[in-house]
């Protein structure tokens, strides 16, 4: 990189790209349009490439501009975290673990997956629930230390992520007392008779369930579909229908929601993956998770 490269110039370019134009960037920064334009030109001169080009009355990113924008996103995301991290360090020893929790994963499983790190005396755990792809984007920008999900990350050399299967669990079916006896009769064929509650197709397990239904020639009587696993169990507890869940959650579902185990389908599995960025120095708590999965 040229010695004349200036991070302030990069910041001005980043704001221009975020705001969609020099005029809007100047307004946000409370600076003259000419000043912002000159700073962006200085950055282009230092890098030896054009980052913006005119398209009608609009400015658009060149291919080099897109690459610069991607790197700037990561740089300034880290910069935004700096004051908080410094104040946190000054306040006393903490070991921060910032995790993304994919909305497709069984939430009741998260605590069990994290058992090996929860006894860390200086732990500060931050959990962010969200959709799978946006969480991977935040991981790539180093806003997250790792993502817990029900599937591995798709191949993408640009993201430089590693996926490790922490554990698998067979899926069982749980019913409220209203439907328990009927669901047990001729299980699993009974799932074509009693009302069934399922995760939506955002969950990887749903595809496995659908494939199993097709293979067994069962046409389920679907009464509801839910993106959130906690909401799924809540509606099952009200008597709306029979639900699938990993077998290790059976006791919790019995005690908390009054659901009864009616049968197990070992052919269907729930998978738990830890996705993290490849680094030479790994977060110590991630190493602990990878060494001793709990589920």
Q: What is the CATH number of the domain that holds 221?
A: 3.40.190.10
Are residues 250 and 190 both part of a single domain? yes
* Average pLDDT for 74-85: 74
pLDDT one-digit tens code per residue, 133-162: 899 988 888 889 999 999 999 887 766 788
- Residue 196 near residue 242 (C-beta atoms within 8 A): yes
Is the residue at 100 inside a domain?
A: yes
Does 1 have pLDDT greater than 50?
A: no
Are residues 11 and 64 both part of a single domain? yes
Are residues 195 and 71 both part of a single domain? no
Q: Which residue has the higher pLDDT, 295 or 251?
A: 251
Are residues 180 and 264 both part of a single domain? yes
Are residues 253 and 183 both part of a single domain? yes
pLDDT value, residue 251: 93
Are residues 65 and 184 both part of a single domain? no
Q: How many domains does the chain have?
A: 3
pLDDT one-digit tens code per residue, 177-208: 999 999 999 999 999 999 999 999 989 999 99
Does 77 have pLDDT greater than 80?
A: no
Are residues 175 and 265 both part of a single domain? yes
Mean pLDDT of the chain: 87
Q: What is the CATH number of the domain that holds 83?
A: 1.10.10.10
Structure tokens belonging to residue 78: 């880290």
What end-to-end distance do the CA atoms of the chain give, in Å? 47
Among 35, 62, 90, the domain boundary falls at 90
Are residues 11 and 58 both part of a single domain? yes
Tokens 């880290």 map to which residue?
78
Its pTM surpasses 0.75: no
Are residues 33 and 61 both part of a single domain? yes
Are residues 131 and 85 both part of a single domain? no
pLDDT value, residue 2: 44
- Residue 100 near residue 144 (C-beta atoms within 8 A): yes
Is the residue at 250 inside a domain?
A: yes
Among 90, 111, 142, the domain boundary falls at 90
Does 3 have pLDDT greater than 60?
A: no
User: Domain limits at 220?
Assistant: 170-270
Among 90, 110, 139, the domain boundary falls at 90
Is the residue at 1 inside a domain?
A: no
- Residue 168 near residue 271 (C-beta atoms within 8 A): yes
Is the residue at 284 inside a domain?
A: yes
Is the residue at 256 inside a domain?
A: yes
Are residues 147 and 277 both part of a single domain? yes
Is the residue at 2 inside a domain?
A: no
């Amino acid at each position: 990189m040229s010695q004349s490269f200036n991070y302030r110039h990069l910041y001005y370019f980043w704001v221009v790209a975020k705001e969609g134009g020099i005029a809007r960037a100047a307004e946000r920064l409370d600076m003259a349009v000419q000043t912002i334009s000159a700073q962006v030109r200085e950055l282009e001169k230092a890098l030896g490439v054009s980052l913006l080009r005119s398209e009608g009355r609009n400015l658009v990113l060149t291919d080099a501009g897109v690459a610069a924008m991607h790197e700037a996103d990561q740089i300034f995301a880290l910069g935004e975290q700096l004051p908080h991290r410094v104040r946190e360090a000054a306040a006393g020893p903490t070991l921060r673990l910032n995790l993304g929790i994919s909305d497709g994963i069984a939430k009741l499983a998260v605590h069990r997956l994290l058992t090996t790190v929860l006894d860390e005396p200086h732990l500060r755990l931050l959990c962010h629930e969200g959709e799978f792809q946006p969480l991977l984007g935040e991981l790539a920008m180093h806003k997250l230390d790792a993502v817990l999900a029900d599937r591995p990350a798709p191949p993408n050399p640009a993201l430089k992520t590693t996926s490790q299967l922490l554990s698998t669990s067979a899926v069982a079916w749980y019913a409220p007392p209203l439907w328990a006896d009927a669901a047990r009769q001729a299980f699993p064929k009974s799932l074509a008779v009693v009302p069934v509650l399922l995760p939506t197709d955002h969950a990887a397990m749903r595809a496995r369930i659908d494939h199993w239904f097709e293979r067994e020639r069962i046409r389920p009587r679907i009464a509801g579909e839910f993106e959130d696993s906690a909401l799924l169990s809540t509606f099952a507890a009200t008597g709306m229908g029979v639900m699938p869940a990993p077998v290790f959650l059976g006791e919790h579902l019995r005690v908390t929601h009054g659901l009864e185990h009616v049968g197990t389908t070992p052919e269907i599995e729930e998978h738990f993956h830890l996705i993290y960025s490849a680094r030479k120095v790994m977060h110590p708590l991630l190493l602990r998770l990878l060494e001793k999965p709990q589920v």
